[in-house]
Amino acid sequence: MISSRGFTAPQIEPPASDVIDWRRHIHAHPELSYKEHATSDFVVEKLTSFGLSPERPTETSVTVLIQGRRPGSTVALRADLDALPLQEETGGSFASTVNGVMHACGHDAHTAMLLGTARVRSGLTDSFDGAVTLIFQHAEETPPGGAKELVGQGVLEGVDAIFGVHMANQATCTISVRKGVTSTVAGGFFATIKGQGSHASMPQNCADPVLVAAQIGYDAAV
C-alpha cells in the first residue's frame, strides 16, 4: 500500500504501453503554438474516455479537475502541447508527418505522461483528499504565450502548488522534485552601442561599435 498525507491506494500498474502509443501519435502529428487544435482534441478525447470532464480555458488548451473523496489542498500538474518549427530527419517509424514541424522539445512526452496520470488518478478518487488539476498548456514556445493566458483565465485560482511535468536523463521509473520554487524564463534585451568616428590616420581616437559588439558577443558566449 502507498500512504502519505491523506493518500492511500494499492500499487498500480502504470499504463506504460498506452502512454508510449499516445506519445508517438502526438509526435507524428505536431502542431505549432496557438494551432494545437488536433492535439487538444486528442487530449479531450482521452480524458473523456477516462470518465473525466475536461474544459477548454482557451481555444487550444485543456484543463480537468479530479476531485478526491474529501475537501483539501489542490495540486496542479502541467504539461505543454506545442511543437517547434523544425524539420524532422530522424527517419523514425513515428516521425513527424508535418513538413517543417517537429516535437523536438519533449512536449509530446509531457502530454502523454500527464494523460497517463489522468488515467490512473481518475480511478483513485476515493483514495485521496483534496483535488488535482491537470493543465495541458498551449503555446509554451511563444513567449509570453499560453501560460499568461491561462493564468488570466483563472486556472490557478485555488491551487496550492503546481508542478511541471518534464522528462529528465534518469533511470526508468524514477521521479525527481526540487524543494522550493523553480522557474525559468526566456527573454531578451536590446542594447545600443554608441561609437565614435575618426580619421584613418588616427585610429586610436575611434571607438568602433562593430568591434565593441563583437567583443560583447564573445564575452557572453565564453
Q: What pLDDT score does 2 carry?
A: 38
User: What are the angstrom distances between the C-alpha of 192 and each of 94, 207, 210, 216, 221?
Assistant: 46, 14, 11, 12, 19
% of the chain exceeding 70 in pLDDT: 91
Residue range 77-92, pLDDT digits in tens: 999 999 999 999 999 9
**Whole-structure pTM value:** 0.77
Confidence bin at 190 (pLDDT 50/70/90): confident
Q: How many whole angstroms from its chain centre is CA 104?
A: 12
Q: What angle do CA 79, 100, 56 make, to 5 degrees?
A: 30
Among candidate residues 88, 140, 141, 149, the one labeled active-site is 140
| Neighbour tally for 25: CB within 10 Å | 14
Specify whether 108 is catalytic: no
One-letter amino acid of 38: A
Q: Which three cell numbers stand for residue 197?
A: 568616428
CB atoms within 10 A of CB 145: 18
Annotated catalytic, 31?
A: no
Cβ 107 vs Cβ 138: under 8 Å: no
The active-site residue, picked from 31, 36, 80, 82, is 82
- Candidates 82, 79, 102; CA nearest to 27 is 102
Q: What is the pLDDT of residue 183?
A: 65
